[in-house]
Structure 1
Amino acid sequence: MLVYDGERLREHGMFQGYNGITWTVVILQAVGGLVIAAVIKYADNILKGFATSLSIITSTLISYFWLDDFIPTSVFFLGALLVIAATFLYGYERKPVPMPIKV
């Protein structure tokens, strides 16, 4: 930054060209990092992986439906299905089967 834009940096400052959307992205990234730190502290690393995978799927769906700049392929749908299935299987607890009473 200093090598290529040192003169403009001294003249206009480091945050030249930032607008509301830019600041929103910066704040969301910072809050996301704090949330991930809290998840790792209070849960486990596997849950963090599931949360990250589900957030990627959510982001791509928003990109497809709202921004119209993503074309999903069959590989995406397969990966999304596997992530969702793994999330449900990880949280699934099998109930013990009662043993029959012999008389």
Structure 2
Amino acid sequence: MDEELHERVRDTVAAIPEGTVATYGDIAALAGASTPRLVGRVLGEDGHDLPWHRVLRADGTPAKHLREEQCARLLEEGVMSRNGRVDLTRYRWRPERG
């Protein structure tokens, strides 16, 4: 992955407002990444300083190994989950697309 794409992914994740969430696919589309897996890769390798907890799978769930911490962080921001799933219709970030 080139550095420019890496930074676009980071910038896009950093722009997710508190109290909202996005999917890996949303971030990939906004950043111009070819696959949501690249977003996961960036977050896994270089996402510790980003609001990584605001990025979910397409079905509104976190990865199993992150579920407890991610749901707790989201709850602190007012994002409710039910059985570990966030209602994307209610909480999904909808940025203005230029």
TM-score range, shorter chain: under 0.3
What TM-score, normalized to structure 2? 0.26
Write 1 or 2 for the structure with the bigger share of helix: 1
What TM-score, normalized to structure 1? 0.25
- Higher RCO (C-alpha under 8 Å, 6+ residues apart): 2
